[in-house]
């Protein structure tokens, strides 16, 4: 702010000096007057010698002098008078003051001397023009300097702050706002940078809290699976130890609920590991018959109807693929409750595994949303437990295994197709 004030004071002072100089020059122009006494003496001297002009050569004059006869012929001129002035009209054009020389009313000739008013005026005019030119040049330089000052001291810092604000809005909080010395927006820019520091610190704290939350979720999900596995084993043991239909039904219900909890815990753990960047897969060559084993492992209700598996080698992570198949069968149990038809076909470099039910499916507009994180279908999810993570996690796992998961609506239900890479 001080530099701006100094610049304005200097500009005002320069303008005042220019105005004062122009005013003084104008005053000097108005003060120029003709010396009438000298003019009268000159006319009188010429009148005395006009009949013998050669006698004027011996006289000393204080100014240039041109004498013309009555018919306008130049009959005398001092040494400094240009030869181009040959008539009275020439003298008038060159700025000479012409005076008639008369005697007893008779016109004898004309005496011409340089007009001090016109000469002074022309001299001052040249001076004024030169001064005005210098003043205009100075003003132009002043305007250029003002423009540069505004650009450097105001516009550039303002644009830098504008760009800085855009970066903050985009979440780029690592680059500080550089503040130049004597910046007009110094305090404002410093406040901006302090805001950036606070936002970065707040984001860092938020990221740390989110990381701890995800780590806690992963830890709890993993810890939940251990007692749930124990419950499932106890249920299986009780099923083997009793023949009471009522008890077997209740134990079977407990086993199914435990299986649901196990699947949900798997989903939460996988989602937490995905966000932590720790959801890894280890693919290796496997016999395609492993698919039959995985289906049998997760078909607790006996609803799977499987076609023969083509004999081939697939490259996959068996544990992760087991998790994918478990999610799909669990969803079918939950939302359809019908038989699950499993078909196989070769598709380019993949073994396509289609799992289709007859539960009515979902509307066409929801098909592409089924693999979106936390999305749950609107038509058939009401009143049913779920997190909206199952198909999302399954899709992510298939991508990591270089495969693909796709959903499609059939005539009577929903079909999920897994593209498993061939070895």
Q: Which of 18-22, 116-120, 243-247, 373-377 has the highest mean pLDDT?
A: 243-247
**Is 249 within a domain?**
yes
Same domain, 256 and 364: no
Query: 417 pLDDT band (50/70/90 cuts)?
Result: very high
pLDDT above 70 covers what percent of the chain? 80
The yes-or-no verdict on residue 299 having pLDDT over 60 is yes
Could you tell me if 174 and 143 are in contact, meaning their C-beta atoms sit under 8 angstroms apart? no
Same domain, 266 and 298: no
Q: Which of 223, 297, 210, 304 is nearest to 266 (CA)?
A: 223
State the Rg of the chain over Cα. 54
Domain count, the chain: 2
**Measured between alpha carbons, how far is residue 279 from residues 207, 259, 276, 318, 320 in Å?**
19, 22, 8, 14, 10
Distance CA 117, CA 95 (A): 9
Same domain, 222 and 355: no
Segment 198-252, tens digit of pLDDT:
888 888 888 777 767 766 665 566 567 667 777 877 888 888 888 888 888 888 8
- pLDDT at site 2: 58
Could you tell me if 67 and 74 are in contact, meaning their C-beta atoms sit under 8 angstroms apart? yes
- pLDDT at site 32: 54
**Is 417 within a domain?**
yes
Same domain, 263 and 300: no
**Is 346 within a domain?**
yes
Same domain, 253 and 284: no
**Is 68 within a domain?**
no
Could you tell me if 401 and 320 are in contact, meaning their C-beta atoms sit under 8 angstroms apart? yes
- Of 118-127, 138-147, 178-187, the range with the lowest mean pLDDT is 178-187
**Is 102 within a domain?**
no
Q: Which of 223-237, 267-281, 311-325, 354-368 has the highest mean pLDDT?
A: 311-325
Which of 231, 262, 279 corresponds to the end of one domain? 279
Same domain, 340 and 367: yes
First to last CA, the chain: 73
Higher per-residue confidence, 176 vs 415? 415
**Is 221 within a domain?**
yes
99: alpha, beta or left, given left = phi > 0 and alpha = psi -120 to 50?
beta
List the beta strands (DSSP E) in 214-360: 284-287, 304-306, 313-316, 340-347, 350-356
- pLDDT at site 306: 92
Location of structure tokens 């499932």: 232
The CATH code of the domain that includes 417 is 3.30.565.10
Same domain, 319 and 408: yes
Chain mean pLDDT for the chain: 79
The yes-or-no verdict on residue 66 having pLDDT over 70 is yes
Query: 353 pLDDT band (50/70/90 cuts)?
Result: very high
Same domain, 252 and 305: no
Same domain, 377 and 300: yes
Which helix (DSSP H) or strand (DSSP E) does residue 419 occupy? strand 414-421
Which of 254, 279, 304 corresponds to the end of one domain? 279
Q: Is 53 exposed, middle or buried (0-12, 13-18, 19+ CB in 10 A)?
A: middle
Range of the domain at 326: 280-421
Could you tell me if 110 and 68 are in contact, meaning their C-beta atoms sit under 8 angstroms apart? yes
Same domain, 335 and 416: yes
Could you tell me if 397 and 281 are in contact, meaning their C-beta atoms sit under 8 angstroms apart? yes
Same domain, 290 and 248: no
Distance CA 108, CA 48 (A): 10
Higher per-residue confidence, 406 vs 17? 406
**Is 29 within a domain?**
no
Which of 279, 300, 319 corresponds to the end of one domain? 279
**Is 104 within a domain?**
no
The yes-or-no verdict on residue 403 having pLDDT over 90 is yes
Segment 306-315, tens digit of pLDDT:
999 999 999 9
- pLDDT at site 181: 58
The yes-or-no verdict on residue 396 having pLDDT over 90 is no
Tokens of 253: 């219900």
Same domain, 243 and 344: no
**Measured between alpha carbons, how far is residue 130 from residues 134, 290, 388 in Å?**
6, 102, 86
């Amino acid at each position: 702010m001080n530099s701006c004030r100094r610049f304005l004071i200097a500009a005002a002072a320069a303008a005042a000096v220019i105005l004062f100089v122009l005013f003084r020059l104008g005053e000097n122009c108005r003060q120029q007057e003709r010396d009438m006494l000298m003019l009268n003496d000159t006319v009188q001297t010429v009148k005395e010698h006009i009949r013998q002009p050669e006698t004027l050569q011996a006289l000393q004059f204080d100014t240039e002098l041109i004498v013309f006869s009555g018919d306008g012929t130049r009959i005398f001129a001092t040494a400094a008078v240009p030869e181009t002035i040959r008539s009275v009209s020439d003298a008038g054009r060159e700025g000479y003051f012409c005076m008639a020389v008369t005697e007893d009313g008779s016109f004898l000739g004309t005496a011409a001397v340089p007009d001090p008013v016109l000469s002074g005026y022309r001299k001052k005019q040249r001076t004024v023009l030169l001064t005005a030119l210098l003043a205009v040049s100075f003003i132009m330089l002043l305007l250029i300097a003002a423009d540069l000052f505004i650009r450097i001291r105001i516009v550039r810092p303002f644009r830098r702050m504008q760009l800085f604000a855009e970066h903050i809005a985009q979440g780029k909080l690592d680059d500080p706002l550089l503040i130049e010395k004597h910046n007009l927006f110094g305090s404002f820019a410093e406040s901006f940078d302090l805001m950036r520091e606070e936002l970065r610190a707040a984001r860092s704290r938020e990221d740390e809290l989110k990381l701890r939350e995800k780590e806690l979720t992963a830890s709890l999900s993993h810890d939940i699976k251990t007692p749930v596995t124990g419950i499932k084993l106890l249920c299986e043991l009780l099923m083997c130890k009793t023949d009471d239909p009522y008890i077997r039904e209740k134990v079977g219900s407990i086993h199914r609920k435990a299986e649901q909890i196990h699947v949900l815990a798997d989903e939460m753990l996988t989602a937490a590991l995905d966000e932590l960047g720790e959801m890894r897969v280890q693919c290796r060559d496997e016999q395609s018959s492993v698919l039959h084993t995985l289906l049998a492992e997760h078909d607790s209700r006996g609803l799977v109807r499987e076609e023969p598996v083509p004999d081939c080698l697939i490259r996959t992570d068996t544990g992760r693929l087991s998790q994918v198949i478990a999610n799909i069968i669990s969803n079918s149990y939950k939302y359809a409750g019908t038989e699950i038809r499993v078909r196989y076909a070769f598709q380019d470099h993949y073994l396509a595994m289609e799992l289709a039910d007859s539960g009515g499916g979902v509307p066409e507009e929801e098909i592409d949303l089924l693999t979106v994180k936390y999305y749950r279908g609107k038509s058939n999810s009401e009143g049913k437990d779920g997190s909206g993570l199952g198909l999302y996690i399954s899709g992510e796992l298939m991508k990591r295994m270089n495969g693909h998961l796709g959903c499609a609506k059939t005539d009577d239900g929903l079909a999920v197709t897994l593209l498993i890479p061939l070895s």
